[in-house]
Structure 1
Amino acid sequence: MRRAQTVVVVPSRTIEKFHEPPAETQAYEERLLCLLLTLRDPSVHVVYVTSNPVADEIVDYYLGLLPADTRANARERLTMISADDPSVRPLSAKLLERPTLLTRIRWAIEDHEDAYLVPYVTTELEYALGRELDLPVQGADPALAHLGTKSGGRELFARAGVAHPLGVEHVRSRADVIAAIARLRAVRARLGQVVVKLDDGVSGEGNAIVELRGLPRSGTRTELHKIAERVDAMRLQATGVAPHEYFERLERGGGIVEERIVARELRSPSVQLELSPVGAVVVSTHDQILSDDMCVGCRFPAEPAYAATITEAAARIGAELVREGAIGRAAIDFIVARNRSGSWSAYAIEINLRKGATTHPLYALELVTGGAYDPAAASFRLPDGSTRHYVATDYLASPRLCALGNGVLLAHVDRPRLDPDGCGVVFHMLSGLTELGRIGMTVIGRTAADAQERFEAVQSALLTAAANLESEVAVVA
């Protein structure tokens, strides 16, 4: 019999976002509930910790995705713990303040010799939590956090010899942004747009676009004044954020200014790596789905036309990260531009030295199918040799969805059970449904077209169910 292993999941997000409501914080903490599917292995125990209790129907949903022969005792190997604290603070901080909760976590660990801590991102708080629980942390040392910033990423790309956009690192004020743009225009006179990015921004929320076309020539007397006018009129990607709030964040955490790549056709793929002392392993490629330059989902795997190019570049970046001592999951974001010849040029954009929007969909696929990604073939293969694809999003949103509730949602899509071959839908962020009108899902298919068709069918079913329920309520009223 295999020795019992305990996975302690603390999805703490020590990440600053503009105006995040508590319901969104809770929903993000539930993104890693797909790790409950590790309970398909009878030797695995899971301790899952959140700020607020996870609804029983949500836990039951994930356990219901397990094979029938392991479903019966999976609940016995699962411990759900809540801090009962809805405040928008990192979950790790809440736990460190509560010795009683730490004791509950320790008691729930089956074997301390074979247990580890899984956070969303690793900061000093998560490492302190690991020390308190006497558990190794699955993630990079906080001393390496600078590598996951926009400035640190650009510097590492240069060391790795990987192409990246023209830019300036470590800007911290409006004046720095203006000076950086002037420097870039001196190098590239026909620069049409730049993007200002917060070093710690996520999902494109920390980005702002500055239009430069029509400015005086570089070096002329009025150039800086005109650049300042364009900076004051820059388009912020985050909604409801005033320019002064943005620059306050920039002053606190720093950022970059870089050219906005322009081409007839652009894509935004990413490569996910697993880092360890022995090297960097490519575990996935994705094409990001963007809405107004913000990432709202992904398709897996990335297009074969450029998968090899970004894989090779990511491997070089991963080797550099390993040399720096980084371990755990990381993702490298790229922009690829189609050339006139039809080939693609790739530019590295960002290093996510943490779990991100492509982590939980891949976990879900791996755990329900038992397959693995083959970087050489740019495909995901099951043990029988067949391939799988998926379309995933964290942003299936509509005000109408608020009316559904988890129970009604699952009933209207026929309480989905995955097909025996692993195709179907895995939902996540279910608690965001009632208050936010938003959920996430990973939809798995045998081909890219099959996955897209299934995705659209589930999306249509949910929105139709919400509209019908809304009509029924209106009739009753």
Structure 2
Amino acid sequence: MFVNTFGLRKMNSSVPDSQTDFDRLQKKLVPLWKSIERFNQDPQTIVVVPSMSIDAIDSGAVIQAYEERFLFLLLLLRQPRARLIYVTSRTILPSIIDYYLDLLPGVIPSHARQRLFLPSPMDGSVRPLSEKLLERPRLIERIRSLIMDPDRAHLVPFNTTNREKELALQLGIPMYGADPKFFPLGTKSGCRKIFMDEDVPYPLGREDIGSKEDLVDAIAQMRRTKSSIKQVMVKLNEGVSGEGNAVIDLMGLPAPGDSKEISMLDDRLRAMKFESKGATYDSYMKKLQERKGVVEERIVGEEFRSPSVQLRVTPLGKVELLSTHDQLLGGPTGQSYLGCV
């Protein structure tokens, strides 16, 4: 009989914590990564579960498109003893698979296809893929049966939440990704705290904003510190690609400390401009209350650059530079990611 321990752990504190088991699994990444770095012919199984937990996605077709972004990992099949298990919410068109396999250098596509497995829950809803898998113990068992040696296998997720952590535990393989316990460090509020601890310059503002009162109080304090602020930007802790941003105009407000300042700030909040299409004041404030966020001075000027740097920390503790680029931004307030230049 299958027991959904993920749900039990959330509801019942008497169920043992899985952190110890997860830590034990993660240690397997160290010898495995040493082997992977050598590009040798050791056998390995890569389980790709490109699950996403992003509210901005409201279409099953968009979910599928995002899940197929990791298809470049099929190029790992150029290693003759590598097996790849690529899971998506719905099946991938055979022509798309053929396209990637035809890119393999020096490998007969039909031979690589024998080492590629494409299980799917056949669920086109917008829920995270990991959640769909955790609801289907038989599918998890099938995926587990495709893993030849758990000591030579790892899970590759799109992002890491407790769902992916639980999936790794149920599959019995380590996860190539950060432990979800470090999630707060990757939020907007967490980043401001890291900048503060490491003496990295960052805009005037405040973190851990969770209500309208917090927001009004923070902006009033910012104006007392710097009365020349013209605009502030509110950012949801978990927003991506600018989707969680909103701009509040402060022009024409009375002097900081004026008796009318607070009521007028409240009016400006209701008039803030959202980067996400379809966002409303009520829906945005609800998300702010649920997840918290930051408010910062909006830096103004004539010319802007938005550089982006991609790094990774390997299981061996090494920090590697992967790429750099300038971001092309647009959208209602110039905060949405459009592409790279």
Partner residue in 2 for 1:271: 309
Task: Tell me which residue corresponds to 2:339.
Answer: 297
Instruction: Measure how far apart 1:175 and its partner are.
Output: 2.0
1:195 to 2:237 alignment: no
State the one-letter code of the partner of 1:211. D
Deviation at 1:265, TM superposition (A): 1.2
Q: Which residue of 1 aligns with 2:326?
A: 287
Question: By how many angstroms is 1:64 displaced?
Answer: 2.0
Structure 1 equivalent of residue 164 of structure 2: 126
SS of the equivalent of 2:85 reads strand
Residues 231-251 of structure 1: CA deviation (Å, up to 9, x unaligned) = 111000010122111111111
Task: Please give the root-mean-square deviation of Cα atoms over the aligned residues, in Å.
Answer: 1.5
Counterpart in the other structure of 1:168: 206
Q: Residue 46 of structure 1 corresponds to which residue in structure 2?
A: 84
More moved, 97-106 vs 124-133 = 97-106
Letter paired with 1:285: T
CA positional deviation for 1:197: 0.6
Paired residues of 1:16 and 1:200 also in contact (CA < 8 A): no
What amino acid is the match of 2:327? Q
User: Which of the residues 33, 48, 59 maps onto 2:97?
Assistant: 59
1:156 aligns with 2:194: yes
Q: Alpha-carbon deviations, 1:231-287, whole Å to 9, x = none?
A: 111000010122111111111111110111112211111111111453422222121
Shift of 1:70: 4.4
Structure 2 Cα separation of the partners of residues 43 and 164 of structure 1: 48
In the superposition, the TM-score normalised over structure 2's length comes to 0.84
* Contact kept? 2:50, 2:156, Cα under 8 Å: yes
Indicate the larger mover: 276-285 or 53-62: 276-285
1:69 equivalent in alignment to 2:107: yes
Distance 2:102 2:287 in 1: 43
Corresponding residue of 2:268: 230
What's the counterpart of residue 400 of structure 1? none
2:117 to 79, 82, 88: 79
Provide the C-alpha distance between the structure 2 equivalents of 1:46 and 1:291, rounded to a whole number of angstroms. Answer: 37
Q: Which moved more, 1:27-36 or 1:269-278?
A: 269-278
Contact 1:40 1:71 in 2 (8 A): no
Percent of aligned pairs sharing the same letter? 47
Which residue pairs with 2:51 in the alignment? 12
- For 1:141, the equivalent position in structure 2 comes to 179
Residue 5 of structure 1 deviates from its aligned partner by 1.2
Give the drift of 1:77: 1.3
The one-letter code sitting in structure 1 at the alignment partner of 2:245 is N
Give the secondary-structure state (helix, strand or coil) at the position aligned to 1:266.
Answer: coil
| C-alpha distance in structure 2 between counterparts of 1:278 and 1:133, whole Å | 24
Query: After superposition, what is the alpha-carbon deviation per residue over 1:445-469, rounded to whole angstroms, capped at 9, x for unaligned?
Result: xxxxxxxxxxxxxxxxxxxxxxxxx
Asked if the contact 1:173/1:247 (under 8 Å) is kept, the reply is yes
Distance in 2 separating the partners of 1:278 and 1:54: 35
The answer (yes or no) to whether the contact 2:64–2:90 under 8 Å persists in 1 is yes
What are the within-5 Å matches in structure 2 for residues 302-451 of structure 1?
Answer: none
Choose between structure 1 and 2: higher strand proportion. Answer: 1
1:261 matched to 2:261? The reply is no
1:245 aligns with 2:283: yes
Paired with 1:162 and 1:42, the residues of 2 have a C-alpha distance of 46
How many pairs were matched up? Answer: 298
8 Å CA contact retained: 1:42, 1:70: no
Q: CA separation in 2, counterparts of 1:131 and 1:267?
A: 42
CA contact (8 A) 2:78 2:106 kept: no
Q: TM-score, normalised by structure 1?
A: 0.61
What do the CA deviations read for 1:352-410 (whole angstroms, capped 9, x no partner)?
xxxxxxxxxxxxxxxxxxxxxxxxxxxxxxxxxxxxxxxxxxxxxxxxxxxxxxxxxxx
Distance 1:170 1:295 in 2: 24
- Contact 1:40–1:70 (CA<8 Å) still a contact in 2? no
Structure 1 outlier segments of 4+, above 4 Å: none
